[in-house]
Amino acid sequence: MLEAIRQTADYIRKEVGATPEIAIILGTGLGDLANQIEVTKEIDYKDIPNFPISTVEGHSGKLIFGNLGGKYVMAMKGRFHYYEGYDMKQVTFPVRVMKEIGVKTLFVSNAAGGMNKEFVVGDVMVITDHINLFPENPLRGKNYEELGPRFPAMTEAYSKRLVAIADGIASEEGIRLMHGVYVGTPGPTFETPAEYEYFRIIGGDAVGMSTVPEVIVANHTGMEVFGVSVITDLGGKDITQVPSHEEVQQAAVKAQPTVVKLVTTLVERL
Ligand code: HPA
């Protein structure tokens, strides 16, 4: 694995030249953030050695490099989901490579179902913590001390410093910014009404099928993490209709301007 990480990082460094210190993983329907980047280089996943290839509709797969908010950043347009069949090492491989390239801060975004009764569709939620319900941890197996510790702490998986900066931006800009705990599930099924209720009772505010693996690995490597969920549907014991993938995408697209403003300003202030 170490060899594959180095090989991929070398390839990217040769293609790109400069080193981004910030990486952004763009979630469902949040591709517009990529349009804010003054792109200097794009690389298709299929051209990157050792990279898995993204398969889901609405997730095109490429790395984007360029300037955002006065900083040189990289973004993943399209991520690898566990439900697609990738194993946890594949899902999180890009984060390993980011670290090797020199990335210090990771921004993650996703679409999520809301369980918190104060949430409405289109809300933007800063992730303050998560609950990992994936059947496997990406760190399972041999630990390479070069990559991080055997038993990493997860007490501040999402940087309090970055949450505080985001709160400041939200109040200046009049953005309704919720806080909450993200429950990460393997998918691909949406939740049953009983499952939404269960996730709320155990302390979740929103649920989705991504993010947790990448955030675990980012913490393992010592990156500072900021996460944001767009609430695309509401789940609870009374729900009678689960969202379609299209509805999730449309709701995420509607919240895009808010997420773009928040993330761009945050990057500017780092
Ligand atoms: N559940 C799981 N994942 C999701 C949801 C949901 O309700 N909405 C968007 N992604």
Q: How far is the CA of 198 from the centre of ligand 1 (A)?
A: 14
Q: Which atom of ligand 1 is nearest to the CA of 185?
A: 2
Residues in the chain: 270
- What does the pLDDT read at residue 144? 95
Q: Could you read off the pLDDT of 160-183 as tens digits, one per residue?
A: 999 999 999 999 999 999 999 999
DSSP result, 128-183:
EEEEE--SS-TT-S---TTT--SS---TTSS-HHHHHHHHHHHHHHT--EEEEEEE
Range of the domain at 194: 2-269
User: The domain that contains 33 carries what CATH number?
Assistant: 3.40.50.1580
C-beta 114 within 6 A of ligand 1: no
Place of tokens 């490597």: 221
The pTM of the whole model exceeds 0.85: yes
- Residue ranges, the chain, pLDDT below 70: 29, 54-60, 239-241
Domains contained in the chain, number: 1
C-alpha span between 90 and 179 (Å, rounded): 29
Exposure string for 139-162, b = 16+ CB within 10 A, e = fewer: beeeeeeebbeeebeeeebbbeeb
pLDDT of res. 252: 79
> What is the Å distance from ligand 1's center to 112 Cα?
4
- Spell out a b/e string for 102-122, using b for 16 or more CB atoms within 10 Å of the CB, else e: ebbbbbbbbbbbbbbeebebe
Question: Would you state the pLDDT for residue 125?
Answer: 97
